[in-house]
Chains A and B, each alone.
Chain A
Amino acid sequence: MTDSSFLPEWPANWPGALSLALLVLAAAVAGEFVARWRVPRLVGYTLAGFVFALLAYGLAQVDLVAIAPADAELAIGIAAALILFDLGQRVSWGWLQRNPALGATSVAESLLTFGAVFVALRALGMTALPAAMIAAIAIATSPAVVLAVTRELRAQGQLTERVLLLTALNCVYAIVLSTLMLAWAHVESRGVLDTWVLQPLYLVFGALILAAAAAHGMLVVLRYVGRERASQIAVVLACVGVVFALAQVLRLSPLLALLTFGAFARAFDRERRLMAADLGLPAALAALIFFALSFATVDFSLLAPAWLPAIVLVLVRVAAKVAASLALAHASALAWRKGAWLGAGLAPMSAVGLLLSRELAVNYPQLGAQVGAVIFASVFLLQIGGALLLAWALRATGEARQT
Chain B
Amino acid sequence: MTDEVLAFTRSDALTIGVELELQLIDRRTGDLTRGASDLIHLVERKPYPGDIKPEITESMIEISTKVHREFGSLRDELRAMRDVLIQAADRLDLAIAGGGAHPFQRWHERQIFDRPRFRHVAGLYGYLAKQFTVFGQHVHIGCASGDAAMSLLHSLARYVPHFIALAACSPYYQGVDTAFDCSRLNTVFAFPLSGRAPFVTDWAGFEAYFAKMKRLGVVESMKDFYWDIRPKPEYGTIEIRVFDTPLTVDRAAELAGYLQAVCAMLLDAGARPESEDIYLAYSYNRFQACRFGLEAQLIDVASAAAVPLHRDVLDTVERCRPYAQRLGSAEALDAIEALVRAHGNHARWQRETYQQSGSLAEVVLRSAALWSARGV
B side interface size, CB within 8 A: 26
Interface residue? B6 (CB, 8 A) = no
> Does A401 lie within 8 Å of B109, measured CB to CB?
yes
Complex contacts, B361 vs chain A, CB 8 Å: 272, 275-276
**Does residue A92 face the partner (Cβ distance < 8 Å to B)?**
yes
Contact B111–A99 (Cβ < 8 Å): no
Q: Which of B28, B41, B92 contacts A275 (CB under 8 A)?
A: B28
The answer to whether B114 touches A99 (Cβ under 8 A) is no
Q: Which of A357-394 contact B (CB under 8 A)?
A: none
- Contact, CB under 8 Å: B90 / A157: no
Quick check: is B374 within 8 A (CB to CB) of the other chain? no
Contact with B along A155-186 (1 / 0, CB 8 A): 01110010000000000000000000000000
Q: A333 touches which one: B29, B33, B92 (CB < 8 A)?
A: B92
Chain B 344-376 interface residues, beta-carbon cutoff 8 Å to A: 358-359, 361-362, 365
Those of A310-367 within 8 Å (CB) of chain B: 332-335, 338
Contact with B88, one of A161, A333, A338, A401 (Cβ below 8 angstroms): A333
Cβ contacts under 8 Å, B362 to chain A: 272
Instruction: Please indicate the chain B residues that have their CB under 8 angstroms from the CB of A99 in the complex.
Output: 90-93
- Kindly list chain B residues whose C-beta atoms are within 8 Å of the C-beta of A98: 90-91, 93
* Contact residues of A between 269 and 286, Cβ < 8 Å to B: 272, 275-276
CB pair A338 B91 closer than 8 Å: no
Cβ of B103 under 8 Å from chain A:
no
A32 at the interface (CB under 8 A from B): no
Known: A92-B27, A334-B38, A401-B109. Is A227-B93 also a contact (CB below 8 A)? no
Give Cα distance in the complex from A29 to B42, angstroms: 43
Cβ 8 A contact of B34, one of A94, A157, A266, A272: A157
Cα distance A158–B91 when bound, in Å?
10
Q: Is B55 an interface residue (CB 8 A)?
A: no
B254 CB–A CB distance under 8 Å: no
Roughly how many angstroms separate A334 CA and B91 CA in the complex, as a whole number? 10
Q: How far is the CA of A154 from the CA of B361 in the complex (A)?
A: 19
A157 contacts B109, C-beta separation under 8 Å: no
On chain A, the residues within 8 Å of B41 by CB distance are 335
**A15 adjacent to chain B (CB < 8 Å):** no
Q: Which residues from B are CB-within-8-Å of A334?
A: 38
Q: Is the CB of A333 within 8 A of B93?
A: no
Q: Which A residues from 199 to 220 make CB contacts under 8 A with B?
A: none
A338-B111 in contact given A272-B361, A398-B58 (Cβ < 8 Å): no
Least CB distance, A53 to chain B, in whole angstroms: 37
**A399 interface contact, C-beta 8 A:** yes
A95 within 8 A of B: yes
Of residues 22 through 62 on chain B, the ones whose CB sits less than 8 Å from some CB of chain A are 26-30, 33-35, 37-38, 41-42, 58
Chain B residues, Cβ within 8 Å of A402: 111
A169 to B36, CA, bound (A): 26
B42 near A227 with CB under 8 A, answer no
Chain A residues with CB below 8 A from B42, complex form:
333
Residue from A156, A266, A276, A338 in contact with B33 in the complex, judged by beta carbons closer than 8 Å: A156
- Which of B93, B114, B365 meets A161, CB within 8 Å? B93
A151 contacts the other chain (CB 8 A): no
Residues of B within 8 A of A (CB): 26-30, 33-35, 37-38, 41-42, 58, 88, 90-93, 109, 111, 114, 358-359, 361-362, 365
Sample of 5 A–B contacts (CB below 8 Å): A95-B27, A99-B90, A99-B93, A157-B34, A157-B35
Further 17 A-B residue pairs, CB within 8 A, beyond A90-B28, A98-B93, A275-B28: A92-B28, A92-B93, A95-B27, A98-B90, A99-B91, A154-B109, A156-B34, A156-B58, A227-B359, A272-B359, A272-B361, A275-B29, A276-B359, A333-B88, A333-B92, A334-B38, A398-B37
